[in-house]
């Protein structure tokens, strides 16, 4: 009987968790980045933020890239009940698959870090390189994001570089619009 | 006792479902179809020393990319190519350049099965017009790495710690069609009822850990076989590309060794130097003049020796300009002079082109 219960539990686990293993990886990786990005112990809260249609349209028009969905995921990172940073988890489409990325901003809207959380394409995986992502640190909504000028490309990853760069710029613009709301 | 175990089962299931519900929020994937493509229209003008000239307008390539993703791991990707506008009486080509099932286990490991690409050099896998300088693909990528080189087979690929690798096993080459003028190029079977007796083995490693730099090597081995010949070939090549702060530089060098027939080796190299002057203006566009030097000899070493080693030895310099109003559209112009070592015969080349990718 114990064996039967154990087997049943294992079946439940395999059936449901195998379909969600990627989703768990994304959540764990994102939250690990948050905890490792700050020296002191910080608290963070997570919420889904529905994009106001007028703001969404405005940013999409400026950047020339649509948002992946009508909502994105926002982390508020606090120290002693004071917000010190915000994290945005979003996706862009590469050549054919979504690229999941995470942008950490300080309260002034300056990029603390960008990370590729999940890359699903056979080509262009180099956009997940830390030293490529480091070039975004310090940029904000007023910065230039032109590839080849202010943002270096990656040989063999043209489409992914274009998509991710636009995705990051969208986040900096979005923060300026919604910072009082989050 | 019985109820105890049942309760345990239900509790475990509820716990699992609760966690799954939360983690599902982070599952962004949905099955979908992808459409893409690229193409290029060329104007080619050439004039030889004796005054003979040729002018051609050619929609060289029209490619449709079609893909479908069932899951994050399993997808299908394909490229169908029409060359030179039509297929008629041996003119033009309709080719299935890529058509494979892709299993993406993780960034560090994936698998492809179907019509796959050889992994060698800078252009064979990344051949869309905005990605390279010059209206035509570099001559090196015609006769040393015969681009686009594809065939029926399998591939393993991955990216980890700045290293990008790919291993390919696919149909081999037809050695009957090797020639002094074009090396192994005409030996590609292109997936057409391909003779699978002697498979081709290919491995490539690139390092991309330094921003702007790609540097790599590859090797291809095939005991090529035709109806009347066999010829064991090995293609070793080195490639490097640098793109940073407006500077563009590319270098490729390769050597093909043959173990039978008159040709013992084909080899060549080229390098590009370019700079984006668009960065000095407040515009999105790129304005990139470039210089290329090429040295190719498809019969670099022959058993017969003498003039046979000079007849297909080309050197070429080229200057040109790529104008990209947006990153996906390019207008090109180039001018060059090609010299054949035997007799120092020169040909002037002038090309115009427009290309796109999406």
How many CB atoms are located within 10 Å of the residue B50 CB? Answer: 6
Closest CA to B300 of B271, B270, B264, B269: B264
Distance separating alpha carbons of residues A115 and A75, to the nearest angstrom: 14
CA atoms in the 13 A half-sphere facing the CB of B221: 3
State residue B180's pLDDT score: 96
* A102's tokens: 């995470």
Contact A4 B5 (CB under 8 A): yes
B110 vs A: CB within 8 A: yes
Structure tokens at B229: 């010949």
What is the separation of C-alpha B89 from the centre of its chain, rounded to a whole number of angstroms?
27
Q: Is the peptide bond before B283 cis (omega within 30 degrees of 0)?
A: no
Average pLDDT, consecutive stretches of 10 residues, N- to C-terminus, chain A (182 residues): 56 48 83 90 92 97 95 94 96 93 98 96 91 96 91 89 97 96 89
| Interface with chain B: mutation pick from A64, A100, A101, A148, highest number of B CBs within 10 Å | A148
Q: What CATH number belongs to B29-357?
A: 2.40.160.10
* H or E element, residue B337: strand B329-340
Q: Give which of B156, B153, B26, B65 is closest to B103, Cα–Cα.
A: B156
Output Rg (C-alpha) for chain A, integer angstroms: 18
Closest CA to A72 of A47, A96, A54: A47
**Is the pLDDT reported for residue B75 higher than 50?**
yes
B-chain residue closest to A125, CA distance: B159
Report the pLDDT value the prediction gives residue A14, as an integer from 0 to 100: 46
Measured from the Cβ of residue B152, the count of other Cβ atoms closer than 10 Å reads: 20
For chain A, helix, strand, coil in percent to 5 are: 45, 25, 30
Q: Which helix (H) or strand (E) holds A57?
A: helix A53-63
- State how far the Cα of B70 lies from the Cα of A161, in Å rounded to an integer: 24
- Residue A146's domain comprises 2-178
Residue B16 scores a pLDDT above 60: no
CA–CA distances in Å: residue A26 to residues A127, B113, B201, B249, B290? 17, 28, 36, 37, 43
Q: By C-alpha distance, which of A66, A38, A53, A49 is closest to A175?
A: A49
pLDDT tens digits along B24-47: 667 788 899 999 999 999 999 999
- pLDDT, one tens digit per residue, over B265-302 is 999 999 999 999 998 887 889 999 999 999 999 999 99
Domain count, chain A: 1
Could you read off the pLDDT of B139-197 as tens digits, one per residue? Answer: 999 999 999 999 999 999 999 999 999 999 999 999 999 999 999 999 999 999 999 99
Residues of chain B contacting A145 with CB distance shorter than 8 Å: none
Confidence of residue B6 (pLDDT cuts 50, 70, 90): low
B32 vs A contacts (CB less than 8 Å): 96
What is the distance in angstroms between the Cα of A170 and the nearest Cα belonging to chain B?
17
The pair of three-digit structure tokens given for residue A174, joined into one six-digit string: 């979005």
Say whether pLDDT at B56 is over 70.
Answer: yes
The ranges assigned to domains in chain B are 29-357
The first and second tokens of residue B198, run together, are 């002697």
Distance from CA of B18 to the nearest CA of A (A): 11
Residue B301 is predicted with a pLDDT of 97
Q: Which residues, numbered 182 to 221 in chain B, qualify as contacts with chain A under a Cβ-Cβ cut-off of 8 Å?
A: 206, 208-214
Res A39: pLDDT: 76
User: CA B68, B96, B117: angle at the middle one, nearest 5?
Assistant: 85
With a CB-CB cutoff of 8 Å, which residues 244-303 of chain B face chain A? 244-246, 276, 278-279, 284, 286
Does the CB of B16 have a partner CB in chain A at under 8 Å?
yes
Helix (H) / strand (E) containing B16: helix B2-24
Please tell me whether residue A98 adopts helix, strand or coil conformation: strand
Identify the pLDDT of residue A117. 95
Rounded to the nearest integer, the mean pLDDT of chain B is 93
Residue matched to tokens 């700050």: A38
DSSP string, B126-182: ---GGGSSSSSPPTHHHHTS-SS-EEEEEEEEEEETTEEEEEEEE--B-GGG-BTTT
Contact A126 B241 (CB under 8 A): no
Q: Give the model's pLDDT for residue A1.
A: 53
Distances (CA, A) of B231 to A158, B23, B54, B129: 38, 56, 36, 34
What pLDDT does residue A18 have? Answer: 44
């Amino acid at each position: 009987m114990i064996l039967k219960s154990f087997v049943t539990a294992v079946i439940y686990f395999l059936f449901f968790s195998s379909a969600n293993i990627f989703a768990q990886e994304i959540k764990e990786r994102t939250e690990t980045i948050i905890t490792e990005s700050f020296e002191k112990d910080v608290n963070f809260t997570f919420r889904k933020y529905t994009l106001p249609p007028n703001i969404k349209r405005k940013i999409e028009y400026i950047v020339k890239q649509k948002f992946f969905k009508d909502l994105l995921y926002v982390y508020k990172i606090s120290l002693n009940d004071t917000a010190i940073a915000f994290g945005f988890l979003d996706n862009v489409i590469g050549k054919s698959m979504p690229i999941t990325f995470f942008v950490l901003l300080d309260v002034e809207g300056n990029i603390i870090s960008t990370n590729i959380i999940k890359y699903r394409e056979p080509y262009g995986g180099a956009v997940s390189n830390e030293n490529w992502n480091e070039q975004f640190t310090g940029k904000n909504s007023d910065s230039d994001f032109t590839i080849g000028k202010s943002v270096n490309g990656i040989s063999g990853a043209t489409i992914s570089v274009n998509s991710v760069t636009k995705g990051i710029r969208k986040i900096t613009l979005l923060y300026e619009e919604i910072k009082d709301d989050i | 006792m019985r109820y105890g175990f049942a309760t345990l089962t239900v509790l475990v299931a509820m716990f699992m479902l609760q966690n799954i519900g939360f983690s599902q929020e982070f599952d962004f994937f949905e099955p979908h179809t992808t459409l893409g493509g690229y193409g290029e229209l060329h104007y080619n003008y050439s004039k030889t020393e004796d005054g003979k000239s040729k002018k051609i307008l050619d929609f060289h390539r029209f490619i449709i990319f079609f893909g479908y993703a069932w899951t994050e791991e399993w997808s299908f990707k394909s490229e169908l190519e029409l060359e030179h506008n039509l297929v008629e009486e041996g003119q033009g080509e309709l080719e299935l350049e890529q058509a494979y099932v892709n299993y993406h286990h993780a960034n560090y490991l994936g698998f492809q099965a179907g019509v796959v690409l050889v992994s060698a050099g800078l252009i064979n896998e990344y051949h869309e017009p905005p990605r390279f300088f010059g209206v035509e693909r570099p001559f090196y990528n015609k006769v040393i790495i015969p681009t686009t080189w594809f065939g029926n087979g399998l591939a393993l690929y991955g990216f980890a710690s700045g290293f990008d690798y790919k291993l390919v096993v696919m149909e081999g080459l037809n050695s009957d069609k090797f020639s002094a003028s074009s090396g192994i190029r005409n030996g590609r079977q292109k997936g057409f009822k391909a003779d699978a007796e002697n498979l081709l083995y290919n491995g490539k490693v690139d390092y991309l850990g330094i921003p702007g730099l790609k540097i790599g090597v590859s090797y291809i081995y095939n005991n090529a076989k035709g109806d009347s010949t066999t010829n064991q070939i090995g293609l070793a090549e080195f490639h490097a590309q640098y793109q940073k702060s407006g500077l563009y530089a590319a270098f490729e060098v390769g050597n093909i060794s043959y173990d039978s027939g008159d040709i013992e080796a084909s080899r060549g190299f080229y390098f590009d130097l370019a700079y984006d002057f668009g960065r000095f203006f407040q515009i999105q566009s790129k304005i990139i003049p470039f210089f290329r030097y090429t040295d190719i000899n498809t019969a670099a070493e022959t058993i017969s020796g003498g003039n046979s080693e000079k007849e297909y030895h080309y050197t070429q310099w080229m200057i040109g300009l790529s104008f990209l109003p947006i990153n996906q559209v390019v207008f090109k112009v180039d001018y060059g002079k090609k010299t054949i070592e035997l007799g120092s015969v020169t040909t002037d080349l002038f090309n115009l082109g427009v290309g796109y990718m999406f």
